Amino acid sequence: MEHNLVLYNTLTRKKEKFVPLHPNLVGMYVCGPTVYSDVHLGNCRTFVSFDLIFRYLLHLGYKVRYVRNITDAGHLEGDNDEGDDKFAKKAKLEKLEPMEIVQKYTIGFHDVLRLFNTIPPSIEPTATGHISEQIEMIQEIIKNGFAYEVNGTVYFDVEKYVKEYNYTILTNRNLEDLLNNTRELGGQDEKRGRLDFALWIKAKPEHIMRWPSPWGVGFPGWHIECSAMSRKYLGDQFDIHGGGMDLAATHHTNEIAQSEACNHTTPAKYWMHTNMLTVNGTRMSKSAGNGFLPGELFTGNHPLLNRGYSPMSVRFFMLQAHYRSTLDFSNDALEAADKGYKRLMAAIGLLDKIVPSSKSNFGDLSEIKRRSYAAMDDDFNSPVLIAELFEAVRIINSIYDGKLTISAEDLEDLKSYLQSFVFDVLGLKDDQIGDADNMDELMQIIINLRNEAKKNKDFVTSDRIREQLNSVGIQLKDNKDGTLWNKI
Ligand code: AMP
Ligand code: ZN
């Protein structure tokens, strides 16, 4: 299998030909969510970007093992060994067990990604399910001389590491600058060097999530989980490691250091980083308070939104930008994407109504196909692919209007081209509701069923009906006269 796929490797800061370590097999690890709160649309953008990458690799015929973890322990607020534990803090706030928090937000995460039509990863390991693998890796790092224990906490010895390896290989930062920008150690610090970070943290008596270890009762640091789980499922060396750009400077830098210190080899051949979703130019994040929840977007229930948008319109909005460009979120941009998505679906809908002629005169489909592959082969350039798809839309509309002709054979070819690129590669699906004449009657049946469930206090069913209608682009509104429905 010979492909011309080229991708941008953060490690080398250039586009490189993609050559997997083992022919036809791809191992890909992507940092998953920290499940202590609802995922916002920015998080979703990163996972949709890797879904596009996963889908295209599958389309090319690779057998892909895609591992995406769930961070359900060890992530402190400071992203290193400082601050409160995100899970314990949220558990206290919501008066739940930390594992109830994990369960609640893991389910929410899966529900949202299903609405965006992402393919689940091949393996979705959790940090809490791999404590022993993390302990083992820390032991090996200590044995190799790159970590030390102080009073029940184990630190990675960055100063020792930089003597043999390049700690800033991923971001190309100057080590002196990095040191100067890092807080100086005080008398209370246990660490030896100010860049040292925790691999294992001693649990304070009040810390709920705790496990026994050779160094006493504690919990793992955030970075070690990804190193341990990628090694377990993909080996010491694998093809692609991905995540949002914001993870490169600390999390991924430390992952590389841990893997090198343990396995004496760099973990991934290609590092891929997705760019951020912004709102008025500011990165969408929970802490900035500009984090749109996908549900707010689908229902339009947000002060900054004029109306709701269906999950597929939002997916299309995301795919119209290259994964390494920022994407700014606005009503106008969503409106335009919604129009584009509907135009694409409408044209595909026309294909079944087109009557083929004996000959085609619409031009060269193989050229469009070639350019579509060239776009995706060029670092997964979905906006250029979408431009090619609109060339096909223009042709379909002209054929339907009788201005151009297509042969039966070419029509089949055109259908299979659109199936491949629109549905398989871009991962779109047609969520447009047909305008059936009896739509109102059908909706009344569903609304009555939901009302019955509500009367029986079966709120699980009534909520599910509402949410599932939402996912196909129908919104229910309860008011005092009953329930109204509308398309979103
Ligand atoms: P977290 O749950 O905070 O660990 O984040 C999960 C993923 O979402 C990480 O890969 C982040 O880099 C990514 N992410 C966070 N904020 C954004 C954003 N505004 N745009 C795109 N990706 C983001
Ligand atoms: Zn990670």
CA distance 132 to 14: 37
Same domain, 270 and 288: no
Q: Determine the structural domain holding residue 447 and report its residue range.
A: 439-487
Same domain, 344 and 240: no
Whether 235 is in a domain gets the answer: yes
| Ligand 1 atom at shortest distance from the alpha carbon of 246 | 12
Whether 12 is in a domain gets the answer: no
Ligand index nearest the alpha carbon of residue 250: 2
Same domain, 467 and 417: no
Instruction: Supply the pLDDT for residue 286.
Output: 80
Q: Which residue is closest in CA terms to ligand 1's atom 18?
A: 42
Same domain, 356 and 455: no
**CA separation, residue 223 to residues 23, 127, 166, 198, 336 (Å):** 30, 10, 18, 9, 40
Query: Ligand 2: distance of its center to the CA of 33 in Å?
Result: 9
**Residue ranges, the chain, pLDDT below 50:** none
Instruction: Supply the pLDDT for residue 346.
Output: 93
Whether 483 is in a domain gets the answer: yes
Q: What is the pLDDT of residues 179-223, one digit of tens each?
A: 998 988 887 889 999 999 999 999 998 888 899 999 999 999 999
Whether 231 is in a domain gets the answer: yes
What is the number of residues in the chain? 488
Q: What is the pLDDT of residues 362-412, one digit of tens each?
A: 989 999 999 999 999 999 999 999 999 999 999 999 999 999 999 999 999
Which of 44, 246, 322, 328 is the pocket-test mutation for ligand 1 (most atoms within 8 Å of CB)? 246
Same domain, 350 and 248: no
Same domain, 313 and 412: yes
Same domain, 25 and 163: yes
CA distance 169 to 208: 36
| Ligand 1 atom at shortest distance from the alpha carbon of 245 | 12
Instruction: Supply the pLDDT for residue 2.
Output: 60
Which of 10, 36, 43 is the pocket-test mutation for ligand 1 (most atoms within 8 Å of CB)? 43
Same domain, 104 and 253: yes
Final residue belonging to a domain, choices 274, 300, 322: 274
Q: Which residue is closest in CA terms to ligand 1's atom 14?
A: 43
Ligand index nearest the alpha carbon of residue 68: 2
Q: What is the pLDDT of residues 14-41, one digit of tens each?
A: 999 999 999 999 999 999 999 999 999 9
Provide the domain count of the chain.
Answer: 3
Query: Ligand 2: distance of its center to the CA of 245 in Å?
Result: 12
Within 6 A (CB) of ligand 1 lie 31, 33-34, 42-43, 45-46, 243-244, 246-247, 276-277, 283-285
Same domain, 360 and 303: yes
- Outline where DSSP puts E strands in 147-260: 147-150, 153-156, 197-202, 218-220, 238-244
Which single residue is written with the structure tokens 């991924």?
252
Same domain, 214 and 315: no
Ligand index nearest the alpha carbon of residue 248: 1
| Ligand 1 atom at shortest distance from the alpha carbon of 247 | 12
| Ligand 1 atom at shortest distance from the alpha carbon of 39 | 2
Whether 4 is in a domain gets the answer: no
Q: Which residue is closest in CA terms to ligand 1's atom 5?
A: 33
User: Quick check: 56 and 425 in contact, CB under 8 A?
Assistant: yes
Residue 406: which residues within 8 A CB-CB, separation 6 or more?
354, 356, 357, 360, 362, 399, 414
Same domain, 285 and 419: yes
Query: Ligand 2: distance of its center to the CA of 387 in Å?
Result: 34
Query: Ligand 2: distance of its center to the CA of 123 in Å?
Result: 14
Query: Ligand 2: distance of its center to the CA of 242 in Å?
Result: 8
Query: Ligand 2: distance of its center to the CA of 204 in Å?
Result: 25
Ligand index nearest the alpha carbon of residue 221: 2
Q: Which residue is closest in CA terms to ligand 1's atom 6?
A: 33
Residues whose beta carbons lie less than 5 angstroms from ion ligand 2: 31, 226
Whether 431 is in a domain gets the answer: no
Query: Ligand 1: distance of its center to the CA of 376 in Å?
Result: 23
Instruction: Supply the pLDDT for residue 436.
Output: 65
Same domain, 127 and 209: yes
**Residue 348 maps to which CATH number?**
1.10.730
Instruction: Supply the pLDDT for residue 103.
Output: 96
Residue 201: which residues within 8 A CB-CB, separation 6 or more?
74, 81, 153, 218, 219, 220, 221
Ligand index nearest the alpha carbon of residue 285: 1
Whether 432 is in a domain gets the answer: no
Instruction: Supply the pLDDT for residue 131.
Output: 98
Judge if pTM exceeds 0.85: yes
**Residue 120 maps to which CATH number?**
3.40.50.620
Query: Ligand 1: distance of its center to the CA of 46 in Å?
Result: 6
Whether 47 is in a domain gets the answer: yes
> Which phi and psi angles does 466 have, rounded to 5°?
-65, -45
Ligand index nearest the alpha carbon of residue 254: 2
